[in-house]
Structure 1
Amino acid sequence: MEQRHGGRDDGRDGAGHTKVTVAHDYFTQRGGAERVAVLLAETLGGGAVTTSAFLPSETFPEVGRLSVRQLLPWLPRPLAARRAALGPLAGLAFLLHTVHDGVVVASTSGWAHWMRGRAPRVLYCHTPARWLYEPDDYFRDAPRWLRRILRLLLSPLGIVDRQRMRSAAVVVANGPVTARRIRRAYGMDAPVVIPPPGLGPDGPQEPVEGVGTDFCLTVARPRGYKNLDLVTSVFSSRRQEQLVVVGGTARPVTDQHVLEVGRVSDAQLRWLYQHARAVVCVAQEDLGLVPIEAFQFGTPAVALRAGGYLATCTPGRNAVFVESEDAAALDRALDQLRDQPLDLEDVRESGETFSVEHFSRAMGGLVAAAAASADAGRRADADGLVTRA
């Protein structure tokens, strides 16, 4: 049984006269993928989105303004809140869900692209599932024997995942790194459409208690590849700038140079972006929206010279690169920014490259092309021009 929550459900066309069904894996966390899914629902989906599970208190309040169709409304909250438990159920829910009309636009890094039906699917891929295609990295903190078992258990899911991805009308990558990972995982070439920042400078700001006058900011959930331990250890050793950590769980202050505030409101995050010396980004990201968001405020990035940061960060203009994933390299980059500050207006102008208008226009064009191709195929089939084996 499906369930809808809030928002409007007026049946408006999302792209011309084409009905667009927007889907997203799940709204049980706050991340860049969730912000992109909201934007797709608002600009293409007529304010509606289909998802496996929706926990309003755990995701962005903007989701509550949408008409949200849940495929697993009966799922107990403890299960919905745990991705390890929710994931397989979400995959099954999408696999059993069919859409036959219009076009499906799936915001996916795991499950939403498993949806079936006659409607052509435009897949906006944030990344091929790390837990499926890079389990050793994703589960790096688990014992080796457990990682081997997980690889065996996940193998059948990979077969389904590749079939569903390869049957799409078009697969879109959120950046060049993701496009290369799509090529490795699926053997497909994917056009790149970089998303806009999910949070802009226009809006209220609210100070965060305990933040000093000289601080750097890192925004990341506590995952192994985010390298949070590296960042916090460096700032503890430097004993210069304060590090403010957004994401994960707020913790009591044990080090005056590291403040873990957990989740914050958008108003508080705007204030942090506005007042930070820099955002520190040393995760192995396929894209990473944090630098793009920070640039809007004139705040530069100290970013790992790898992954998605190569597509969004320009050394000397809006960023200082960290050459490797070690404390000495991060320490040197922080010193470089302190000794050679970047022009904040140049940083702000660099952020204008990533706009909502460009993103919406590019995705709308892909939806229109998928719809036109599907219509042509149906006409050819009706005329007896298509032979099926």
Structure 2
Amino acid sequence: MRKVAIIHDWLVNYGGAERVVEAFLEIYPNADIYTLVYDEKKIGATFSKEKVKTTFIQKFPKATKIYTKLLPFMPYAFEELDLSEYDLVISSSSCCAKGVVTGPNTKHISYIHSPMRYAWDLYHDYKKRSGKLTSFFMSIFMKNLRQWDYTSSQRIDIILANSNYVAKRINKFWNRECQVVYPPVDIDRLSPNGKESEDFYVVFSRFVSYKRIDLAIEACKKLNRKLVVIGDGEQRDYLKSLANNNITFTGRISDEEVKDYLQRCKAMIFCAEEDFGIIPLEAQACGRPVIAYGKGGALETIEDKITGIFFDKQEIESVIEGILKFEKLKLCTRKIHEHAMKFSRERFKKEIERVVKNGLFK
């Protein structure tokens, strides 16, 4: 019986990356989980305290709240993990988890959600949006972090990317070839409601700047269209200041309430450039199309003029053009739903098992 360890960047909230870890655990229920920091109150119901081992950073005061500010310590924290007793290590990483050190008799398979964007392609963007002190230290520290990121990537036996978009960046920044395995989407609980759509669009997202929710709000304002904005985050007050009476904010709501909105909406508007993007697939699983920015992972999860439509630029007028083009289309709910079914959790688990089997017996 193989002894398996699952490594994840941090366990402080439940999102798409945590669904991947959850699926790994379904394949290997006896695996141990290692992570930088763990918030039992927020995620204990999904990942029990008994299963999770943390790094020394967990002992820092308020570690689960300030962990993102401790980036300089993260490479050391993961390299300090002793994984010598394991036959198989599977890491789930968009930061430093993939940098664990494994011995020659341990196979390390790393599922990469993204190379560190703040160290590579979005470095200048993050730096511009940072304060003077943070920007100064970024200039000094990021060079060393890039070197570590590249070096640690060379220790991985098999690299899996969550999209072709991410695979290209892995090849550019790490000079590594990889396989693409699309992440699991929780589509079993999602389906069309069998009714006609209602007269509103939906945005479902964390309220952070790169999601560009502002574009959807401004476009719907100009077109006098109803928009329901689901979620919360640091941009809450700013986004609400842009809204008029046609824009409704729900805040954080239950999965069932989200499902209800997705089933009833005319379409989802998705303005972000994502590495993959699970939420558009959740809308499609409900039989609803997506009006999306035509870059990044959306190009792999949405079929143009079949399950949605693309707009070209992250600009208000481009979003408006996309909405107007969409409103002239007649799309098939059944085809949209069937397309989403290709990204199921069971499909993901079978692909991971195949990769592991092939990797262990080479």
TM-score tier, shorter chain, comes to: 0.7 to 0.9
Partner SS state of residue 82, structure 1: helix
Q: Is the 8 A contact 2:210 2:272 kept in 1?
A: yes
In the alignment, which of 190, 199, 205 is matched to residue 220 of structure 1? 205
In the alignment, which of 331, 335, 342 is matched to residue 320 of structure 2? 331
| Offset from partner CA, 1:29-54 (integer Å, 9 cap, x none) | 34311221221222235364221112
Count residues in correspondence.
Answer: 349
Q: Is the 8 A contact 1:246 1:262 kept in 2?
A: yes
Read off the aligned partner of 1:223 and give its amino acid letter.
Answer: V
| Superposed displacement of residue 213, structure 1 | 5.2
In the TM superposition, 1:227-242 aligns within 5 A as 227-242=212-227
Does residue 299 (structure 1) correspond to residue 280 (structure 2)? The answer is no
- Tell me the TM-score normalised to structure 1 length: 0.81
Residues 63 and 147 (structure 1 numbering): CA distance in 2 closer, same or farther, change over 3 Å? same
Matched with 2:272 is 283
| C-alpha distance in 2 between matches for 1:164 and 1:128 | 12
| C-alpha distance in 2 between matches for 1:265 and 1:224 | 23
Matched with 2:250 is 261
Q: Is the 8 A contact 1:197 1:289 kept in 2?
A: yes
Q: Is the 8 A contact 1:215 1:244 kept in 2?
A: no
Residues 144 and 22 (structure 1 numbering): CA distance in 2 closer, same or farther, change over 3 Å? same
| C-alpha distance in 2 between matches for 1:122 and 1:228 | 35
| Offset from partner CA, 1:3-40 (integer Å, 9 cap, x none) | xxxxxxxxxxxxxx322211110122343112212212
In the alignment, which of 105, 111, 121 is matched to residue 108 of structure 2? 121
| Superposed displacement of residue 153, structure 1 | 1.5
Q: Is the 8 A contact 2:163 2:182 kept in 1?
A: yes
Partner SS state of residue 194, structure 1: coil
| Offset from partner CA, 1:172-205 (integer Å, 9 cap, x none) | 11000000000111001111011121454359x9
| C-alpha distance in 2 between matches for 1:89 and 1:260 | 38
RMSD of Structure 2 on Structure 1 (CA): 2.7
- Tell me the TM-score normalised to structure 2 length: 0.87
| Superposed displacement of residue 143, structure 1 | 6.3
Read off the aligned partner of 2:130 and give its amino acid letter.
Answer: A
In the TM superposition, 1:82-101 aligns within 5 A as 82-100=66-84, 101=86
| Offset from partner CA, 1:243-291 (integer Å, 9 cap, x none) | 3132426667863223333333222222222222222112111111111
Read off the aligned partner of 2:350 and give its amino acid letter.
Answer: R
| C-alpha distance in 2 between matches for 1:107 and 1:272 | 31
Partner SS state of residue 81, structure 1: helix
Residues 358 and 349 (structure 1 numbering): CA distance in 2 closer, same or farther, change over 3 Å? same
Residues 85 and 266 (structure 1 numbering): CA distance in 2 closer, same or farther, change over 3 Å? same
| C-alpha distance in 1 between matches for 2:115 and 2:225 | 38
| Offset from partner CA, 1:306-329 (integer Å, 9 cap, x none) | 111111110121011112111111
Listed as ranges, the gaps of 5+ residues in structure 1 are: 1-16, 206-211, 374-389
Read off the aligned partner of 2:150 and give its amino acid letter.
Answer: R
| C-alpha distance in 2 between matches for 1:256 and 1:141 | 31
Identity %: 22
